[in-house]
Structure 1
Amino acid sequence: MTLSVLDLAMIVLPAAAYLDQYKKIHKSGDTGTFNPATCGVLLVCNIIRVFFWLARRFDTVLLYQSFVMIVAQLLLLELCVRVQHRRRRPSFQIKSLKDYTSAFWAWPHFSHYVAFCAALAGGLWLLHLMFGSSAAYADLVGAVALGIEATVPMPQAWNNYKRKSTFGLSWIVIMSWFGGDLFKIGYYIASGAPAQFTMCGFVQFSVDLIICYQIARYSVYTRIGSTASPVSTIKMGTSL
């Protein structure tokens, strides 16, 4: 199989978008506002996407994209766990299944996350052996994988809504989401990818539009007073 420049862009660029986040965390030694749950969402949906491909063979470019994203998110997650481990109390340990479940996705060691991903892949492999030939099963796996992936930008939109502010949110980041999701929709349609991919792209693109609207709407706070910031304006309003 010969990959075109467009194919390579589709494989690499979604994961490359997280390179800047990795560099910032590595340089500052702090995860800041980045939530490692984002890594979890992307790991789960891309692992499931691999088994979706096994059940319904679609464009291998999208399979390669999942593999690259899995590796990228594991690297980013390992860094987050390593950074957070320095601030975690030494007595915090996972000694039982109850500890493991109660501390879900806040585990102290990277090996716990790897074990979860391995267990997920193992369970999906067993399901594939039992139901892999079923078209209904393939549709269900695809819907679950892409349904989870579609939720990736939603926490940002919800956070903007709760704060009634987009202060500190980069237009460059949002426009990269906007352009990237639009590019993916076009690629999915042109390559004849399963409908789940296209629907996921439209959901993500819709959330991108919501965030762009929030930036335009909430930026009015920056015009209230020459020295008031969006955050301080909100605090003043809520205290009255």
Structure 2
Amino acid sequence: MEVAGLEWLLGPARQLVAWGAAGAMVFGGVVPYVPQYRDIRRTQNAEGFSTYVCLVLLVANILRILFWFGRHFESPLLWQSIIMIITMLLMLKLCTEVRVSNELNIKRRSFAAADSKDEEIKAPPKRSYLDFDLNYFWHWSKFTDYVQCVLTFTGVTGYITYLWLDSSLFVETLGFLAVFTEAMLGVPQLYRNYQNRSTEGMSVKMVLMWTSGDTFKTVYFILNQAPFQFSICGLLQEEALKSKCRSFLLP
């Protein structure tokens, strides 16, 4: 009788824990970017944040969604990818608007300093995705250019996946590429810190949340027996965390 009563209590408790873990997995991945988004919006300066982080996560999560069509995994992981894509697009929109606005302000200050009455303030040169200029890849003037690039990548990879969906080797490779790309998340930010010789503009809260989030994801993948690619991703990200944290020790 006592065992039955205990099981009656533990059953709903387990369900609540499972729901909580699933919710944390779905929304937890985007939480680290909230303080970074707020910092950029407050300071109107996106120099400390590498938009290539957004590129890495967009590619990784698009590939992960395509992987789902070949090998179904837990719904929370699928929804996590969808929400992460939306979040990265919002980050890109803000960073693009801030960068273009700052470039125009610099032009205005230079014009005022020159005290020239004969020259007009020229807007920064517009760079478009359709220019196909690799020198300005992922450094375009309009948010719509990033959207076009993402849609093109999704269409091309989606079509290739459709053609090779029956190949287990292709599907498993696709899953590995998705998680390996995600594991490289910290590389663009580390390179930006190296270029700036500083971590100024990079949210400390974001890095700390990256750390706790990656640890949680690794445990979640293992306990829920997610495809082995996810566990590999978690372990690789754990190693990358050491470099992320060391970047704050740069002089």
TM-score class, shorter-chain normalisation, is: 0.7 to 0.9
Specify the alignment match of 1:221 in structure 2: none
Specify the alignment match of 1:134 in structure 2: 167
Q: What TM-score, normalized to structure 1?
A: 0.79
Match of 2:229 among 191, 196, 201: 196
The 8 Å contact of residues 178 and 209 in structure 1, kept in 2 or not, is answered as no
Letter of the structure 2 residue corresponding to residue 104 of structure 1: F
Instruction: Please give the per-residue CA displacement for 1:70-100, whole angstroms capped at 9, x wherever unaligned.
Output: 0111011101111112215625234785444
Specify the alignment match of 2:68 in structure 1: 53
The 8 Å contact of residues 153 and 207 in structure 1, kept in 2 or not, is answered as yes
In structure 2, C-alpha distance between the alignment counterparts of 1:208 and 1:95, rounded to whole Å: 34
In structure 1, C-alpha distance between the alignment counterparts of 2:157 and 2:147, rounded to whole Å: 15
1:175 paired to 2:190: no
Specify the alignment match of 1:78 in structure 2: 93
In structure 1, C-alpha distance between the alignment counterparts of 2:74 and 2:87, rounded to whole Å: 21
Match of 1:20 among 22, 35, 41: 35
What secondary structure is seen at the aligned counterpart in 1 of 2:29? helix
In structure 2, C-alpha distance between the alignment counterparts of 1:112 and 1:165, rounded to whole Å: 29
Cα pair distance change 1:29/1:156, threshold 3 Å = closer
Specify the alignment match of 1:106 in structure 2: 139
1:42 paired to 2:75: no
Match of 1:32 among 31, 47, 50: 47
Cα pair distance change 1:99/1:24, threshold 3 Å = same
Instruction: Please give the per-residue CA displacement for 1:191-215, whole angstroms capped at 9, x wherever unaligned.
Output: 1111111111101101213444666
Letter of the structure 2 residue corresponding to residue 33 of structure 1: G
The alpha carbon displacement at 1:168 in A equals 8.7
The alpha carbon displacement at 1:128 in A equals 2.1
Specify the alignment match of 2:240 in structure 1: 207
1:151 paired to 2:184: yes
Query: Number of residue pairs matched?
Result: 217
What secondary structure is seen at the aligned counterpart in 2 of 1:30? coil
In structure 1, C-alpha distance between the alignment counterparts of 2:136 and 2:50, rounded to whole Å: 15
In structure 2, C-alpha distance between the alignment counterparts of 1:96 and 1:146, rounded to whole Å: 26
1:124 paired to 2:171: no
Letter of the structure 1 residue corresponding to residue 222 of structure 2: I
Instruction: Please give the per-residue CA displacement for 1:27-64, whole angstroms capped at 9, x wherever unaligned.
Output: 11111311111111111111111101111101111000
In structure 1, C-alpha distance between the alignment counterparts of 2:21 and 2:123, rounded to whole Å: 48
In structure 1, C-alpha distance between the alignment counterparts of 2:203 and 2:96, rounded to whole Å: 25
In structure 2, C-alpha distance between the alignment counterparts of 1:129 and 1:172, rounded to whole Å: 40
In structure 2, C-alpha distance between the alignment counterparts of 1:180 and 1:95, rounded to whole Å: 35
In structure 1, C-alpha distance between the alignment counterparts of 2:168 and 2:178, rounded to whole Å: 15
In structure 1, C-alpha distance between the alignment counterparts of 2:197 and 2:46, rounded to whole Å: 23
Specify the alignment match of 2:217 in structure 1: 184
Cα pair distance change 1:9/1:211, threshold 3 Å = same
1:10 paired to 2:25: yes
Greater shift, 147-156 or 56-65, is seen at 147-156
Instruction: Please give the per-residue CA displacement for 1:86-131, whole angstroms capped at 9, x wherever unaligned.
Output: 2156252347854444321001111111011111111122112211
In structure 2, C-alpha distance between the alignment counterparts of 1:167 and 1:108, rounded to whole Å: 24
